[in-house]
């Protein structure tokens, strides 16, 4: 089904590395119905950008200078419960600190696995779960953050 501009998935990209943000721009551009509405290089910038840009989806790096991805995610999902945050890292989920596993992110994706199909599938699963109300009472990531929270 074709989606109009009003139905576009608004994406905020958060990563401290410009080169990686450039690669993710290309991924987002390759997904019909996704539009990049902004970028941030820190957790502090991400929290402010969510307020001003109203994205539906935030792609959040785990490790950044200043406020990291886990803390920024916690603040975002507490203030804006309809926003879906997907955490990204080059590290495997098992190698990440416990704070990452309980921050409120909807899913975890290794940066190496970030492709249009994978991102679209994660987004669609999260939106369907929200429509069913499955996420309303579930703070935190799934017990396996490399799988979507259900």
CA pair distance 1, 88, nearest whole angstrom: 29
Model confidence over 83-101: pLDDT tens digits? 999 998 876 666 555 556 5
Q: Is residue 137 part of a domain?
A: no
Q: Which domain holds residue 72?
A: 5-132
Model confidence over 118-146: pLDDT tens digits? 999 989 888 888 777 754 434 444 433 34
CA pair distance 15, 114, nearest whole angstrom: 14
- Structural domain total, the chain: 1
Q: Specify whether the CB–CB gap between 60 and 88 falls below 8 A.
A: yes
Q: Is residue 111 part of a domain?
A: yes
Q: Is residue 149 part of a domain?
A: no
Q: Is residue 51 part of a domain?
A: yes
Q: Is residue 141 part of a domain?
A: no
SS3 of 148, please? coil
Q: Is residue 59 part of a domain?
A: yes
Q: What CATH number does residue 70 fall under? A: 3.40.50.2300
Mean pLDDT lowest for which of 38-47, 60-69, 121-130, 139-148?
Answer: 139-148
């Amino acid at each position: 089904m074709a989606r109009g501009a009003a139905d576009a998935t608004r994406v905020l990209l958060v990563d401290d590395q410009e080169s990686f943000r450039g690669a993710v721009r290309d991924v987002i551009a390759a997904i019909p119905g996704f539009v990049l509405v902004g970028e941030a290089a820190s957790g502090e910038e991400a929290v402010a950008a969510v307020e001003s840009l109203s994205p539906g989806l935030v792609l959040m790096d785990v490790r950044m200078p200043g406020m990291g991805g886990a803390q920024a995610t916690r603040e975002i999902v507490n203030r804006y419960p309809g926003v879906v945050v997907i955490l990204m890292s080059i590290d495997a989920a098992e190698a990440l600190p416990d704070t990452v596993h309980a921050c409120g992110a909807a899913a975890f994706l290794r940066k190496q696995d970030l492709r249009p199909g994978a991102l679209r599938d994660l987004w669609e699963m999260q939106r369907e779960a929200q429509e069913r109300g499955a996420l309303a009472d579930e703070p935190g990531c799934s017990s396996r953050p490399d799988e979507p929270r259900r």
